[in-house]
Amino acid sequence: MFVRQSWLPQSQQDVQDLITNNPWGMLVSNGSDGPNVTNLQFVLYPTRSEKGVLTSHLARANAHAAALQQLTEPALAVFHGPSSYVTASWYPGRDMPPTVYYTAVHCYGPLLFHDHAQLRESLEDLTVRSEAGIPDGWKTHEIPDAAIQRRLPAILGFELTIERLEAKFKLGQDEPKRDAMAVAERLLKSTNPQDVALGAMVYRYNEARP
């Protein structure tokens, strides 16, 4: 990923927050006929290795599952945070071309596949995290354990130990400060929560600039 020095994240916490707040990512691996890609929900465990560990699962019926078990090189997990087209009309002088402000994280590393117990634990943790913000959220004990157990053989659980991480927070840091702050102001006035989240990041990443 092409990342200018000015686009680097301000902290490792910002990278972890992007993944945690945007857990729907893409798992990419090399295949004999080209790249294999599957969209998956991940859970990040930031303290389980130097750069963190990601867990997820996919159906064994997915041809990608069989390909992953033959993989000898690192896999890649891709995450996208808030993004927005930035019209030149938002700049005070209207003298800059339009662009896109966005955030993304690429995580590379080897895969380790879960046994039955690890898969069950991983699915339980994923459910708890996913249901946490839902009033009266669902719990796995609401259905017979046998109904869960019979599904586990059809699922391939895995973890990706992050050995290489690339993060890009392109938030106007390489543009005149007045332009970036004008974009932040526009985004913060939006009714779209993703725009507001992006606007807050643009403001934070540019406010201390001279």
Domain spans of the chain, in order of start: 5-175
Q: Can you give the pTM of this predicted structure? A: 0.94
According to DSSP, the β-strands at 24-29 and 75-86 are antiparallel
pLDDT value, residue 115: 97
pLDDT value, residue 156: 98
Is the pLDDT assigned to residue 33 strictly greater than 90?
no
pLDDT value, residue 5: 97
Is the pLDDT assigned to residue 205 strictly greater than 90?
yes
Summary mean pLDDT of the chain: 97
The domain 5-175 belongs to what CATH superfamily? Electron Transport, Fmn-binding Protein; Chain A (2.30.110.10)
| Mean pLDDT of the 87-113 span | 96
CA–CA gap between residue 171 and residue 84 (Å, rounded): 10
**Pick from 160, 34, 165: nearest CA to 107:** 165
If one compares 96 and 81, the residue with the highest pLDDT of the two is 81
**Pick from 36, 46, 16, 133: nearest CA to 76:** 36
Is the pLDDT assigned to residue 17 strictly greater than 90?
yes
pLDDT tens per residue, range 37-66: 999 999 999 999 999 999 999 999 999 999
pLDDT value, residue 32: 85
**Pick from 38, 9, 8: nearest CA to 25:** 38
Residue 47 burial by CB count (10 A; 0-12/13-18/19+): exposed, middle or buried?
Answer: exposed
